[in-house]
Each structure stands twice: as structure tokens, then as C-alpha cells.
Chains A and B, each alone.
Chain A
Amino acid sequence: MKLSREEVLHIARLARLGLTESEVDRFSEQLSHLLENFEVLQQVDTTDVPPTAQSIPLQNVTKDDEVAASLPPGQILANAPRKEGEYFRVKAVLE
């Protein structure tokens, strides 16, 4: 199991994570080493074993659709790095 530089860059792009050159090298080596060790999973016979997503039997938890108080916009926007009026300000999405 060896992750190439190209694969590391591909994963970083999927995760929208900028990496420096040295991080690409380091992660390529470290992730390869980890995945090599995690390959033991392939030895386990999981024929007819269903996957477990979480450990409690709850499913499809629903709530009544009731109007309730929510935080005022001013408080929601208080942590925004950039805002304009009652909006979050973002970079242009379409160029």
C-alpha cells in the first residue's frame, strides 16, 4: 500500500485542504505506513456481516414540526469573518 504524491494531492483536493510541498511528502509516507498497518482488516471474514453505522437501535428520529425560538441574526453573525448587513459575505462563486 503506497500512496503516491499524485494520490495525496488528489485527496487533498477532495478535502479542499491546501498542503505545502513538504506536507505532501510527509503525508504520502505517513498515510502509506498507516494504511499498510490497517490492511489487517482485509483478513477478517465479513461474509454476510452487515455494516454498523452507529451503536444504538434508534432510527429515523422525527420531531413535530413546531415553530420555536431561534437565535437572532445579530448573534449568528457575531462570529462571521466577513459580513454585510444581515448576510455572510463570501468570495465570488462564479467568475
Chain B
Amino acid sequence: MIINQLTIHEAHELLKARQLSSVELTKACLERINQTEPKVHALVTITEELALKQAEKADQLIAKGDAHPLTGIPAIIKDNMCTRGIPTTCSSKMLQNFIPPYDATVVEKLNGCGAVIMGKSNMDEFAMGSSTEHSAFFPTHNPWDPSRVPGGSSGGSAVAVAADETIYALGSDTGGSIRQPAGFCSVTGMKPTYGRVSRYGLVAFASSLDQIGPLTKDVTDCAIVLNAIAGYDNRDSTSVPEPTPDYTQCLTTDLKGLAIGVPKEYFVQGMQKEVETAMRAAINRLEELGAKVDWKVSLPSTPYALAAYYIIAPSEASANLARYDGVKYGFSYTDTDSMWEALEKTRQFGFGDEVKRRIMLGTYALSAGYYDAWYLKAQKVRTLIRREFDQAFEKYDVLVTPTSPTLPFRIGEKLDDPLQMYLSDVCTLPINIAGLPAISIPAGFGDGLPIGMQLIGKPFGEEAILKVAYAYEQATEWHKRRAGI
């Protein structure tokens, strides 16, 4: 048994039976981190001392018979979620020295379960990107082939899980930032419904799209982490006061009577052959498991989602990132007497290329004379996209698509072509536009590289997608393969 490869539920059973201690488990993960970090660069901060202290405390809780499923289990947090006393950089020069005075709600909740926080993961700066190459510090490498990207923006979290540096991780997803790296790294990643998980303490990128979710080694673990982080929080006024079910209760393998739709627009031009082949096989498998599959669903506004997203998200980003003025926290340019020059240079030197590009794009779309033609138009298209999903969910319980149209691409390949980079989110961003829950699970390999399948549910329909994901996972072995790093 290689203990850092355990899932949450496997580790929990061993911890409860006192066959393993949290300190042992944590040390195994820390050792693995030392071994693999030089190759993958998934982490920005490693909190070894804190982790071992939390592990000792967890062992005491377990000894008292007080073990929550996450007690004593090592976790990695994406570096855009505030951790009290631990740097939270968003992989940006702007926040390189920022140490939050408070915990994000999700971090508070994990700590309340007796979690072991081992560090913070690398990301595209301020979560803007699809490859983790836009980190201001260093790119993260895909453990399945270190010359390729792990996806992004939660690339560090996905790699930490895929390389068994941690048992699970948290990521955030604004247009695919949990699901696309989960697909590229062969792990399970879920973006819950908008409003399901509190974003209090998540550094804001695009407030109407951002959502926090789990990256795990299997579907059961995903349900366990979702149980711990979901729920209403009065500090996030977009969190929804809906009851939270026990998500582990829906994990059954019988899909009889379930209606699954395949929206044909997601089998897009430019889709790689390997991805298409794997997807068709995976969907056939769902049919064999008892689901009724309709291959001819149409969501006709899908081709406009990319443009709508890349107007809406940068617009919101340009407003959210106006707060970085070098006064209250963060990088500050002081070598001038002029307030305006200090402000402009703080932002010039503090932000990287992609962040600047999006601020520019958003500022343009919101500026006088262009607002109606771009921002308002995109918001109207957003309505159409959501309506089409609502109509589809009158007939189908779950929709299924590839997570990304391509296999993980080479580092550097799309860095100079923003549009090509944006296209890697083409299958995931419509789900954020509509605010729906979706999960990416391992669904095959092409040329030895991972392929993800995306399952989409109706609002607050996490249980249906977890159920289909679980049934598929139990019938396949993809999630058990390990990157040979």
C-alpha cells in the first residue's frame, strides 16, 4: 500500500481502525511533495509545520472517536482562497506578500472538520487562464507528460491530486478552471451550482460565474468534500439558502430509467479524434449501464457562448480588479510623487500579461458607447443559453459532453494566441454562464494522455451527476491509473 495514493474514504477507514495515523499519512504526502515538486511545480506554498501540527491534533480527535470523514486527511488549497496567516498570492506579483487576516468560509469549514492543510497550489494569475502558464511564478507541469500543461486555472490543485502529493484539493471554477484541469490530469473535479458553496474569502475574478469545488481521486471523495463545503453562508449574499443533502447517499450504480442527453453542438469543429472516440465509447457505456441516451439534443446558442463569456468575465474582472491600487494591501509602486502615476505603475508592474489583457477587454466592453453593443448584448445571449439548458432539463436528467475538445497541449503552444487558449474552455464555460453544476471524470486516454467526460446537471442537481459519475467510475478503471512520475 502506498499511503499517499489512498482516497479520502480509504484513508478514513484506516484512520478510524487505527491502522494508520494522520501524522503518518501527512508525512507520506509531504515526502511525495519533496520528490515530485521539482518535476511538476504544483505548489506555491508548503505549510509543513502547520500540517504536522494539525495531523497531531487530528490523531487526538480520532483517538477520542470523534472522526469526521475529513479528519486528519491532507488537503491542498488553491492560492486564491484566503488562509489566515498563510500567504494567499493568486500566483500574482500583486499579492506576492499578502497574508490574509481571515479564513475563507471553505477553509474554515475544512478546519472545523479537522483537516490537514499542507499548502497552497499554483494557478493562472487571478484564475485567468486555461494552462497554469499565466502564473507569475512558474508554470505547472502535467504529471502524465511534463512537457504538457495540466490545464488551468486550478492546474496546481489538479496536479497535486494526480501526482498523489495530496489526498484531495480545492479549486475554483469561473469558466472551467476545476473541470478542464481535472480532465487534463485524470482526476475528478466538480463545479457545484452557482450559490451552492460560499465564496466568502475567495479572491473575486468574475463574481457572477466564480464557484469553489473539489478535486479528488474518485467520485465518492468528491461527494464527501462537497458535503463539507456546501451550504448557506450569510457572508456571501449569493449563497443560496437551499437545504444540503448528504451527497454520498446518491452514489448507486443502477442508471435504469435515467435520461441522458448529448448536445451535438459540443462535438465541435477542432475536436481531436482521440477525444471524440473516447467520448463515444464512454457514452455507449452509460447506455449499457441502463441509461436512456439521446444523441440528438440541440442547444443552438452554444456557438455564441465563448464570445458571451469572454465579454462578461473580463467585464466583471475589470471591475473586481479595480481594488488593486497599492494602498490597502499588495504591491505598491512608490517611486513618484504623483498619485495617478503611482496607481498606473502599481497596476503595470503588479499584473501580468493575461490579467492586463482581460482588464483591457472588460474595460472596453463596459465603456461609454460600447456597453450596449458588447456587455448588454452578451448578457442577453446569456439568457438564451440558460433558457436552452432549462428546456433540455425538462426532458433529460443529465447532459454529457467532453470536458475539453483537445488532449493536454504542449507548454508554450498557445501562450501567444489568446483565442486558441480561450477555445480550450469551449465545452465548460457555457455551464458557468448558466450557473449549473457539472463534474469532470476520467473517461479514457489518447496517446497516453488523459481525457475527461463532463456531466451537467440542473440547478442544485448535484446528486444526479454524482450518481451517473459514480456508476461510470465503478464500471471502469480509468480513475485507478497513476501517472508514472
Point out residues on A near B: beta carbons under 8 Å: 3, 7-8, 11-12, 14-20, 23, 27, 30-31, 33-35, 37-44, 46, 49-56, 58, 61, 63, 71, 75-76, 78-82, 88, 90-93
Contacts and interface: CB of A to CB of B under 8 A. Distances in A.
Contacts of A90: 327, 339
Interface of A is mostly: loop
Given A18-B348, A56-B195, A88-B327, A12 B376 contact: no
A92 B338 CA distance: 7
Contacts, number: 169
A27 B357 contact: yes
Q: Give the 4 A-B CB pairs with smallest separation, nearest first.
A: A55-B435, A18-B348, A51-B379, A81-B332
B208 interface: yes
A34 B301 contact: no
B interface residue count range (under 10 / 10 to 19 / 20 to 34 / 35 or more): 35 or more
A15 B383 contact: no
A46 B208 CA distance: 21
Contact of A51 (B348, B363, B376, B419): B376
B307 A52 contact: no
A34 B337 contact: no
B160 to A, nearest CB: 26
B344 A44 contact: no
B79 to A, nearest CB: 16
Interface in B177-215: 194-195, 207-208
A27 B356 contact: yes
Contacts of A49: 380, 383-384
Given A33-B419, A37-B307, A53-B208, A88 B328 contact: yes
A14 B101 CA distance: 31
B272 interface: no
Interface stretch (B28-36, B106-114, B234-242, B284-292): B234-242
B240 A56 contact: yes
Contact of B360 (A27, A38, A43): A27
B381 A41 contact: yes
Given A11-B364, A15-B360, A31-B360, A51 B383 contact: yes
A72 to B, nearest CB: 9
Nearest to B329: A79
B98 A79 contact: yes
Contacts of B304: 40-41, 43-44
26 contacts: A7-B364, A11-B363, A12-B360, A15-B359, A15-B360, A16-B322, A16-B343, A18-B347, A27-B356, A27-B360, A33-B418, A34-B418, A38-B374, A39-B307, A41-B381, A44-B301, A46-B383, A49-B380, A50-B380, A54-B435, A56-B459, A58-B240, A61-B237, A80-B328, A91-B338, A92-B339
